[in-house]
Structure 1
Amino acid sequence: MRTIIGYLLTFFTLSCFYILILKIEEEWNNVKPVSAVLEEKIQINDIHLQQNSYIYDRNNELISEHVNEQKRKYIPLKEIPDIAKQIFIVTEDSRFYEHSGFDIAGVTRAAIVNAKSGLLEQGGSTITQQLARNLFLNHEKTWNRKLSELLYAYQLEKKLTKDEILELYLNAIYFQHGVYGIETAAQYYFSRPLKQLSIGELAFICAIPNNPSLYDPLTHFTETKKRQERILQILFDKGMINKETFHAARSQPISLRLQKPVDRFPDYVTYVYDELKQLIALKEGISGEQLDKRASEVLQSGVRIYTSLDPNIQQTAINAIQTYLPYKNVQGAAVVIDHTADEIIALTGGKHYKKFDFHRAFQAYRQPGSAIKPLLVYGPYIDRFRATPYSLVSAGAFCKNGYCPKNYSNRTYGMVTLETALQYSYNTPAVRLLNKIGIEQAFAYLQKFAFSGLTTKDYALPAAIGGFTKGMTPLELTNAYTTFAHDGIFQKAYAIRKVTDLQGNVLYERPQHAKKIWSKKTNDTMRQMLAEVVKEGTAKKAYFPSPYIGGKTGTTNDYKDLWFIGLTNHYTAGVWVGQDKPANMEAISKQTPHLHIWKTIMQRAAP
């Protein structure tokens, strides 16, 4: 019996041992190397540092610099002076090209050097560790952060070459005052590119990152200068510079010349930001928060935005608004479009405009008054009924379903030509014509323009003389008038010509979507009638000698809005005058500031 039990126990023990061996083998096969675990847990994808973006005018002159939270102008390693590279290697990580991301010997050496000098001359972290901290971590002094720093540094060394790490490092390090990267520091503190700095100036800015708050040149100049001299001493001791260079660099006076970011023409630039979102939305089919996030990513990636801005005409428009609107609380906006190229060349947001304030040219929706008549009434009527400027219409009293509009000063005029009715902006003929066209049919024309505020509530007879629920922006109305320069074809105008990355690759371009509004014959008739408005009608104060000039005024009830939209052979311009909180401006209207502003701008723009 004992023998049988012994055999059974032996068999059971061997079976268990065999199963254990199988399980161990299975687990062993599932064990991942440390490197594989790091690859899985610490993933380093493509590294992109935030960079400044730039906006240019039509002459490719810089007009605005978009600065992110991190001001940075990226510079390739090959363009960084060798002495600058050597400074950071000898002061931060002398065994940079030898270690694999962390350096025990370097930590020990740094501790000894710092102990002897009584100063923090050398850091314990390698350049790779510092880069890892700047890219992926924070600056907390904890063991967890330090361990993470080591692991990230190890992964960086596996993914990148030493030169790639050094390039990223020199573009990532912090130089105080929101300045990141050595090229940005050179331009910020000395208003010159890095390659133009002397050895003394290079050593001076290279002193800052070791402790940016302590070595802040603006608040602790003396401390920064002392560290610069210690750096120069190290370079001399190591034979990297000769005695003559050492003494010259150390004795050179350091004169800071701070550079402010370029930021001109805030009215125009504010709109460019909005239009950038439009282009992104069109190309990528996104909106809302997703669009805002994407636009921020694009600007942080570093792009060049090339625009159509004409700085001379822009400044003329700004000055004209200021000159002719000295009245308190009265505002104005002007838009100028080069309709030969469908480009917005000037755009003002209001008097004394500040960047990103409420922009009256593209954000203010106002009642258009009689400025809508050519688009909603006369153009469609002539197109549908093949009318001429000399076709007749009654300017007498009109009433329908309780709606009884009046002409200016409540006068009636009997039968008049279409040309006369438009020339003097009679109201009852316009309402009569809209009634004859049919509201649906007339609005079918208006829908082709880019009026974003149109609603079905606007489909009523008062629209003939500018009665809308929300209204139009000066930019929308001015753009619509470019149709009269295009033989009846509407094309949305853009401020942006193209957006490229910093290497010149095109990311976004303005689309071309032409829409036929009416026939060329209708358009020719309208041009003739609009010319009479300026020559002898309500806009004659805007007249100046020109091969062609035409347009239409608009005044809303109680003189709350004053408009003039007009064109020459080359440009279409629109001017709006009013108060942000609509109020009566009858006294001001007699001075016709909208016409004087328009004339001043267009005379400056004339070839």
Structure 2
Amino acid sequence: METMTNPKIKKSKRFLRLSLFALLIVLTITIISIAGILIYAKILGPPPLSVPQSTLYYSNDGTLIGESSNGDKRYWVDLDDVAGDLIHATISIEDQNFYSHHGFDYKRIVGAVLADIKAMEKVQGASTISQQYARNLFLTLDKTWKRKISEAFYTLRLEMNYDKKEILEGYLNTINYGNKAYGIEAASQFYFGKKAKDLSLAESAMLAGIPKGPNIYSPIGHFDRAKLRQKIILQSMVQNGYITQKEADKAASKKLKIIGEHSYSQTQVAPYFQDTVKHLLKTKIGLDDRTIDLGGLRVYTTLNTEQQEIAEKVIDETISEDSKIQVGFTAMDPNTGFVSALVGGRKYEASQFNRAVQAIRQPGSTIKPLLYYAALEKGFTPTTMMKSEPTTFRFDDGRKDYTPHNFNSKYANDEITMAQALALSDNVFAVKTHLFLGEDVLVQTAKQFGIETKMSKVPSLALGTSGVRVIDMVNAYSLLANGGKQVEPVFITRVEDYQGKVIYQYEPPSEHILDPKLAFIMDQMMTGMFDKKLNGYSSVTGSTIASQITRQYAGKSGSTDTDSWMIGFTPQLTAGIWTGYDQGNQITLNADKLYAKNIWVRFMEKSLEDQPIKTFKQPKGVIAVPIDPESGKIATDDCPVSRLTYFIEGTEPTDYCDKHINEENLWKHDKRHEKENKNWLKRLFKWF
């Protein structure tokens, strides 16, 4: 008998086979797809973990003075610098299975999907810490499936290439804690005014509750909700075995003090200085704007906050509030070039133009020390004599006659020494020296001293008619103060990235560009502006502030119709200031003309009051001789004034002053001179 197959059964078997085959194909495709995704993720390698962070700026003693002003506060800290209670609280409430899953908690995902289906919209999340970190690093916060797929892929890359500690550290440093505080360090500082490693259990549980809804669970404005969530987190910590119920109850009852301030705020400490630092990060170190603003850099600067405060206070107290006079001020360590204080204007809020580093103004007589240093190189000495009298210089090459004038048209109408000419700021002596050396010599000397602005080869250059910057002049004087060692204005000593890796380290130059002996002689000549022994046809230019000084300073003032300067130094500090009007208006009031000197001396005295008194070190090959300032010869007992003056050995005067010797003493001096000559001859014959 022939068996007949039921068509329905046959059809069912075929359907079953096709279904199994299709399922196998889908399974195969799924496996291949998953494998492909994993292989692709592995090929791409570890994703970068850099996130936007605030760049911080520090003074020379490590004090925070400012940060980048993008608004958000982000400070990266190692996981070891985060309180253990905060870590446990975060894991308990955010991702209990963090250490056991590979980026995805499938049980939570299923529960979230069912909740979404029930509500017919996306209402519940199941993101792990790894997924949230991926979102913080790379993605937007919109709740779309496209974003979820991208988030999952980034999560894979994180889990495949970083360990749990690195992922948890990254999460805690990037999560939003509200009030523009991103990361646990910024949050800890903002809410409780302390470092993340110092958080208590109660504080940790409070902070761990904020990321679920920064606008809902912040203790500022929503303290009751924050407190309720804190208790929930404490109970989850008990359930997960991190703390006991007794510890949870004690933490829940503890009264917390909420600060609500960013301690790392955008401060106004030395704003002109900070602007210069940011400019140098870009132009000198080569960093781009985004890295400077959001790279989480640690920038260590040379600013001395105490000196900066002194400078700002002295300027504010010295210049009358209603005056339109502006200032450019710089102070630096002459031995290193480290800029310790800088003021670019009286009100940063009113004008960000930095007059200390940007403005180019005529230096007046402050250029003369550079001129006289060049003269020393060419064989001049402090006692080289020239006549101070009204003089008109005429030239054979068709140039106009030039007639310089001294201040108030006062002249010696006699010969004076170079030392006295500098102390009295005699303009005729300076122009004569300039023309004698050649008009190109001062131009080259200015470059040697680091002056970068253009110098015109004209007779008036000796009187400072070519513009310079305050920062360059202070640096030039520092070369004299340190004995001729090369320095440059330094604002940044070190830059670290957000991981603490040094990306820039200042390396000091070691070259000597001035003769130490001549630099020392110039220093001593520059002390003359405060020494009344050099008074002549007028008083020394520092006479108005000489009573305020308590130690030896070397310096030079300078003025034009529109500019007033004072620059001076000790072996450990150089400072210089320009005052004037931005529009170049003439300075007419006598009080306005004295601002520069008064600000300078008050700053120096206040800054150095707790510092040891240091004098300039006399090099070998330099000797000191008592000189009569009037004659420029060796002073005798009959000279009313004797000033110790320094010379390179062999260039000192040999003649004794005879202007002040009484007739009855003249024979004695002649005999003494004759005896010295005989003794010299005896030594010469003995040598042969």
Is TM more than 0.5 here?
Answer: yes
- Counterpart of 2:39 in structure 1 is 36
Taking structure 1 as reference, are residues 242 and 190 closer, same or farther at Cα in structure 2, changes over 3 Å only?
same
3-state SS of paired residue (2:565): strand
Taking structure 1 as reference, are residues 590 and 141 closer, same or farther at Cα in structure 2, changes over 3 Å only?
closer
- Counterpart of 1:244 in structure 2 is 246
- Counterpart of 2:211 in structure 1 is 209
- Counterpart of 1:423 in structure 2 is 423
Could you say what the CA RMSD is over the residues aligned between the two structures, in angstroms? 3.4
- Which of 341, 357, 366 is matched with 1:371 structurally? 366
Asked whether the equivalents of residues 86 and 199 of structure 2 are also in contact (C-alpha less than 8 Å), the reply is no
- Counterpart of 1:315 in structure 2 is 309
Asked whether the equivalents of residues 127 and 169 of structure 1 are also in contact (C-alpha less than 8 Å), the reply is yes
| Partner Cα distance (2:586, 2:263) in 1 | 42
What one-letter code is carried by the residue in structure 2 that aligns with 1:105?
A: K
Alpha-carbon displacement from aligned partner over 1:524-548 (angstroms, at most 9, x marks no partner): 4322321212223112223255553
- Counterpart of 1:91 in structure 2 is 93
What one-letter code is carried by the residue in structure 1 that aligns with 2:332?
A: I
- Counterpart of 1:385 in structure 2 is 379
What one-letter code is carried by the residue in structure 2 that aligns with 1:531?
A: T
What one-letter code is carried by the residue in structure 1 that aligns with 2:553?
A: I
- Counterpart of 1:541 in structure 2 is 544
What one-letter code is carried by the residue in structure 2 that aligns with 1:565?
A: I
What one-letter code is carried by the residue in structure 2 that aligns with 1:463?
A: L
| Partner Cα distance (1:103, 1:412) in 2 | 94
**TM-superposed deviation, 1:191:** 0.5
Taking structure 1 as reference, are residues 591 and 352 closer, same or farther at Cα in structure 2, changes over 3 Å only?
same
**TM-superposed deviation, 1:101:** 2.0
**TM-superposed deviation, 1:481:** 0.7
- Counterpart of 2:587 in structure 1 is 585
- Which of 164, 167, 175 is matched with 1:165 structurally? 167
**TM-superposed deviation, 1:500:** 4.2
Whether 1:407 and 2:409 are equivalent positions in the alignment is: no
Asked whether the equivalents of residues 555 and 563 of structure 1 are also in contact (C-alpha less than 8 Å), the reply is yes
| Partner Cα distance (1:410, 1:59) in 2 | 50
| Partner Cα distance (2:206, 2:593) in 1 | 60
**TM-superposed deviation, 1:373:** 1.6
| Partner Cα distance (2:150, 2:362) in 1 | 61
- Counterpart of 1:334 in structure 2 is 329
| Partner Cα distance (2:238, 2:114) in 1 | 20
- Which of 209, 219, 237 is matched with 1:235 structurally? 237
| Partner Cα distance (1:272, 1:166) in 2 | 34
Whether 1:573 and 2:580 are equivalent positions in the alignment is: no
3-state SS of paired residue (1:385): coil
**TM-superposed deviation, 1:65:** 4.7
3-state SS of paired residue (2:544): helix
What one-letter code is carried by the residue in structure 1 that aligns with 2:531?
A: K
**TM-superposed deviation, 1:164:** 1.9
**TM-superposed deviation, 1:555:** 0.7
| Partner Cα distance (1:423, 1:114) in 2 | 88
- Counterpart of 2:102 in structure 1 is 100
- Counterpart of 1:450 in structure 2 is 450
3-state SS of paired residue (1:365): coil
| Partner Cα distance (2:423, 2:294) in 1 | 52
- Which of 552, 559, 576 is matched with 2:556 structurally? 552
| Partner Cα distance (1:79, 1:489) in 2 | 44
| Partner Cα distance (1:32, 1:589) in 2 | 83
Asked whether the equivalents of residues 72 and 182 of structure 2 are also in contact (C-alpha less than 8 Å), the reply is yes
| Partner Cα distance (2:326, 2:186) in 1 | 39
Asked whether the equivalents of residues 366 and 473 of structure 1 are also in contact (C-alpha less than 8 Å), the reply is yes
**TM-superposed deviation, 1:126:** 1.8
Asked whether the equivalents of residues 369 and 554 of structure 1 are also in contact (C-alpha less than 8 Å), the reply is yes
| Partner Cα distance (2:412, 2:297) in 1 | 59
Larger radius of gyration: 2
Whether 1:343 and 2:338 are equivalent positions in the alignment is: yes
Structure 2: runs of 5+ lacking an equivalent: 1-33, 533-539, 612-688
3-state SS of paired residue (2:528): helix
3-state SS of paired residue (1:204): helix
**TM-superposed deviation, 1:139:** 0.9
- Counterpart of 1:176 in structure 2 is 178
**TM-superposed deviation, 1:592:** 1.5
- Counterpart of 2:460 in structure 1 is 462
What one-letter code is carried by the residue in structure 1 that aligns with 2:469?
A: T
- Counterpart of 2:392 in structure 1 is 398
| Partner Cα distance (1:197, 1:518) in 2 | 57
Asked whether the equivalents of residues 272 and 348 of structure 2 are also in contact (C-alpha less than 8 Å), the reply is no
**TM-superposed deviation, 1:257:** 1.1
**TM-superposed deviation, 1:110:** 4.5
| Partner Cα distance (2:141, 2:134) in 1 | 11
- Counterpart of 1:532 in structure 2 is 528
3-state SS of paired residue (1:209): helix
In the superposition, the TM-score normalised over structure 2's length comes to 0.73
**TM-superposed deviation, 1:325:** 0.5
Asked whether the equivalents of residues 189 and 262 of structure 2 are also in contact (C-alpha less than 8 Å), the reply is no
What one-letter code is carried by the residue in structure 1 that aligns with 2:417?
A: T
Which deviates more, 546-555 or 139-148? Answer: 546-555
Alpha-carbon displacement from aligned partner over 1:457-502 (angstroms, at most 9, x marks no partner): x33223221212xx22222111111122233444224243333457
What one-letter code is carried by the residue in structure 2 that aligns with 1:338?
A: D
Alpha-carbon displacement from aligned partner over 1:96-117 (angstroms, at most 9, x marks no partner): 2333322332123356789999
Which deviates more, 485-494 or 496-505? Answer: 496-505
3-state SS of paired residue (1:541): coil
Identity of aligned residues (%): 30
| Partner Cα distance (2:454, 2:387) in 1 | 29
Taking structure 1 as reference, are residues 589 and 303 closer, same or farther at Cα in structure 2, changes over 3 Å only?
same
3-state SS of paired residue (2:104): coil
Q: Answer 1 or 2: which has greater helix percent.
A: 1
**TM-superposed deviation, 1:413:** 4.3
Asked whether the equivalents of residues 325 and 331 of structure 1 are also in contact (C-alpha less than 8 Å), the reply is no
Alpha-carbon displacement from aligned partner over 1:155-206 (angstroms, at most 9, x marks no partner): 2111112222122111111111221112321121000223333322211111
Asked whether the equivalents of residues 550 and 605 of structure 2 are also in contact (C-alpha less than 8 Å), the reply is no
- Counterpart of 2:660 in structure 1 is none
What one-letter code is carried by the residue in structure 2 that aligns with 1:556?
A: T
| Partner Cα distance (2:223, 2:270) in 1 | 39
Asked whether the equivalents of residues 500 and 507 of structure 1 are also in contact (C-alpha less than 8 Å), the reply is yes
- Which of 503, 509, 524 is matched with 2:505 structurally? 509
What one-letter code is carried by the residue in structure 1 that aligns with 2:39?
A: A
In the superposition, the TM-score normalised over structure 1's length comes to 0.82
3-state SS of paired residue (2:330): strand
Whether 1:199 and 2:201 are equivalent positions in the alignment is: yes
